[in-house]
Amino acid sequence: MKLIELINVKRIYKMGETIVKAINGITLKIDKGEYVAVMGPSGSGKSTLLHIIGFLDRPTEGRYVFKGEDVSNYSEDDLAKIRNREIGFVFQAFHLIPRIRAIDNVELPLIYTGIPSHKRRELAFKCLKEVGLQDRANHKPHELSGGEMQRVAIARALVTGAEILLADEPTGNLDTKSGNEIMNIFDKLNKNGKTIIVVTHDPEIAKRAKRIIYLRDGKVEREEIKKV
Ligand SMILES: Nc1ncnc2c1ncn2[C@@H]1O[C@H](COP(=O)(O)OP(=O)(O)OP(=O)(O)O)[C@@H](O)[C@H]1O
Ligand SMILES: [Mg+2]
């Protein structure tokens, strides 16, 4: 059974008279445990594709089969439940809440899960440890470096136990060294079984993945699969 299966998916935006075909017919399968990079020129549909895969957006046409189940016609509520349970997001700009500590940021996705607060704290701390930031738990975002902020964001993406990590230009705001540290974490998470899909402009970053999907004009232009 495939984890993610898109069948002739389109995402078309109507802006008054103009029609933007952000995703224009993509058929794609991704297995559990894969490590995929998505590349392509600006505007080729990378972020839109990631949002659709992560249930932040939905196709205007085509089908999305998730874990063998066609979710194309699921309600927003049902999609949100799958998203919260299965997907962790990491963005270029970190999206941390500025006024609260690292540990509180990591805990946020657990707030509405019914998990008691001492257990939430424990889980959040474990994830901070996993990204090597146990010493920074009480720092607020402005007291962290860019690379550290992104590591907090990764811990937050992991805290719910999500098996799928989606990252949109996660190293885009970082220097090469911090970017490499972030990618080392992704490599480790993939080795431990997480499915990772990372959008990047950087060929060096994409090389980390075992499969590279190149988009152009909302379509898959070509794919490269690394031989192991
Ligand atoms: N909410 C929206 N409304 C209308 N058009 C949109 C919207 N979001 C994206 N688009 C258009 O869809 C196309 C694909 O956008 P997308 O953000 O997926 O590109 P991208 O490959 O991520 O680009 P970049 O590398 O610059 O981040 C672009 O032409 C964009 O202008
Ligand atoms: Mg983008």
Residue 127 lies in a domain: yes
Residue 68 lies in a domain: no
Burial of 98 per CB tally in 10 Å (0-12, 13-18, 19+): exposed
DSSP 106-167: HHGGGGGGT--HHHHHHHHHHHHHHTT-GGGTT--GGGS-HHHHHHHHHHHHHTT--SEEEE
Which secondary-structure segment (H or E) carries 212? strand 211-216
Q: Which atom of ligand 1 is nearest to the CA of 23?
A: 14
Cβ 76 vs Cβ 70: under 8 Å: no
Q: Sorting pLDDT into bands at 50, 70 and 90, what band is 227? A: confident
Residue 209 has a pLDDT of 97
Cβ 105 vs Cβ 97: under 8 Å: yes
User: Is 200 close to ligand 1, i.e. is its CB under 6 Å away?
Assistant: no
Q: Which atom of ligand 1 is nearest to the CA of 51?
A: 18
User: Is 132 close to ligand 1, i.e. is its CB under 6 Å away?
Assistant: no
Residue 20 lies in a domain: no
Residue 149 lies in a domain: yes
How many structural domains is the chain composed of? Answer: 1
Residues forming beta bridges with residue 223, ordered by sequence position:
213
Residue 211 lies in a domain: yes
Assign residue 182 the CATH number of its domain: 3.40.50.300
| Residue where the block lists tokens 């935006």 | 13
Residue 3 lies in a domain: no
pLDDT in tens, 13-71: 998 999 999 999 999 999 999 999 999 999 999 999 999 999 999 999 999 999 999 99
Q: Chain-wide mean pLDDT for the chain?
A: 96
Which secondary-structure segment (H or E) carries 85? helix 76-86
Residue 109 lies in a domain: yes
pLDDT in tens, 173-211: 999 999 999 999 999 999 999 999 999 999 999 999 999
**By percentage, how much of the chain surpasses pLDDT 70?**
100
Domain that holds residue 164: 34-58+76-225
Ion ligand 2, residue ranges at CB < 5 A: 47
**By percentage, how much of the chain surpasses pLDDT 90?**
96
Q: Which atom of ligand 1 is nearest to the CA of 218?
A: 14
Residue 174 CA neighbour count, 13 Å, CB half: 26
For residue 57, give Cα distances in angstroms to 6, 33, 174. 13, 23, 27
Mean pLDDT calculated for residue range 95-107: 97
User: Is 92 close to ligand 1, i.e. is its CB under 6 Å away?
Assistant: no
Which protein residue has the closest C-alpha to ligand 1 atom 29?
43
Residue 224 has a pLDDT of 96
Nearest to 83 by CA among 63, 54, 111, 60: 54
Residue 40 has a pLDDT of 98
Residue 226 has a pLDDT of 87
Residue 9 lies in a domain: no
Which of 20, 91, 92 to mutate for ligand 1's pocket (most ligand atoms within 8 Å of CB)? Answer: 20
Q: Sorting pLDDT into bands at 50, 70 and 90, what band is 112? A: confident
